[in-house]
Amino acid sequence: MPAARPLAVAIMGPTASGKTAAALEIARRIPSEIISVDSALVYRGMDVGTAKPNPEELAEAPHHLIDIIDPADAYSAMQFRQDALRLVMEIAARGKLPLLVGGTMLYFKVLRDGLDELPQADPALRARLDEEAARVGMPAMHAKLATLDPASAARLKPNDSQRIQRALEITLLTGQPMSSLLSQKAAEPLPFDLLPLALEPSDRAVLHDRIALRFDLMLGGGALEREVQTLRARGDLHLGLPSMRCVGYRQMWEYLDGAIDAGEMREKGIAATRQLAKRQLTWLRSMPDRIVIDCNRASATEEVLAEVEKALAGRAAV
């Protein structure tokens, strides 16, 4: 008799660790649908620079939460949680295996633990903070946060613009430090079982080589000429938006602004992607129940598939 609670598989890992390849291989063997757990893939018109699955890959299995909003708009972690919970149950009801695939670790955390009740974004206040940041610089905004909310400022790096702005926004909206509003509530139980698989490198230098290669392929694939120039020409996008803060896009935008040359753009883009991978691995290490698979091994994809098949077999035997 099948288990009452459906199973969903989380395929997590840093950028360039082979998550998409593993998910597609599972979908070829087991009827599955893929839910993207990537804060960059939600944006339409941002394909090459986000390493979005190509049309052939998208055709191999149904994909969800890709190309769902315009780059001028925002998509929150709570919106992701609501969408992902609904999609997992709908996919399971169709008799397919839900695969949650991506590298936005905050999304995975919010999915499993829920999110503290914090105020929604205030567009007018956010615009004022963006204008102030452009005028005085992010280190000054970090210093401002340190006076209003020392605990949050100590947790954030001075160049973490998105989180600094959000912490300031919450503090100014509520009159209380964001750190004091964060509750210690228990994790909200999921309505399904989750198999957490993490593709992690045994040798980070190999991952760094993959990141550099991917960035060069992205540039060669038209990310600058076809995508960023087109987005910039719209006139309604700017570097303060979450979409344009995606790694690679910010550096290409700065190059088009004349702030850096082509060599600096490539160097800064690769460095930013490596920093992203470092943060992703730090998030993963905070998930002690994950099953780690070395993404440097040639057999990594087959190992992911074997873990999924083992989990399914164990449930069928119950």
**Residues 7-24 pLDDT 10s:** 999 999 999 999 999 999
Please give the Cα distance from 84 to 79 (Å, whole number): 8
Integer-rounded Cα radius of gyration of the chain: 20
For 235-299, where are the alpha helices, taking DSSP H only? 249-257, 262-285
Tokens read off for 229: 């120039």
14 is in an annotated binding site: yes
Confidence tier at 1 by pLDDT (50, 70, 90): very low
Q: pTM score > 0.85 for this model?
A: no
Please give the Cα distance from 304 to 293 (Å, whole number): 7
For the chain, where are the alpha helices, taking DSSP H only? 19-29, 55-60, 77-93, 105-113, 123-136, 138-148, 150-155, 161-174, 178-181, 204-220, 229-234, 249-257, 262-285, 300-316
Please give the Cα distance from 214 to 153 (Å, whole number): 33
* pLDDT tens profile 263-279: 999 999 999 999 999 99
16 is in an annotated binding site: yes
Please give the Cα distance from 153 to 169 (Å, whole number): 13
3-class state of residue 236 by DSSP: coil
Tokens read off for 299: 């057999």
Rounded percentage of the chain residues whose pLDDT exceeds 70 = 95
17 is in an annotated binding site: yes
* pLDDT tens profile 139-153: 998 999 999 888 888
Q: What is the pLDDT of residue 149?
A: 87
221 is in an annotated binding site: no
All structural domains of the chain: 7-116+186-317 (3.40.50.300), 123-180 (1.10.20.140)
Classify 222 in phi/psi space as left (phi over 0), alpha (psi -120 to 50) or beta.
Answer: left
15 is in an annotated binding site: yes
Please give the Cα distance from 206 to 65 (Å, whole number): 30
19 is in an annotated binding site: yes
* pLDDT tens profile 183-212: 545 557 899 999 999 999 999 999 999 999
13 is in an annotated binding site: yes
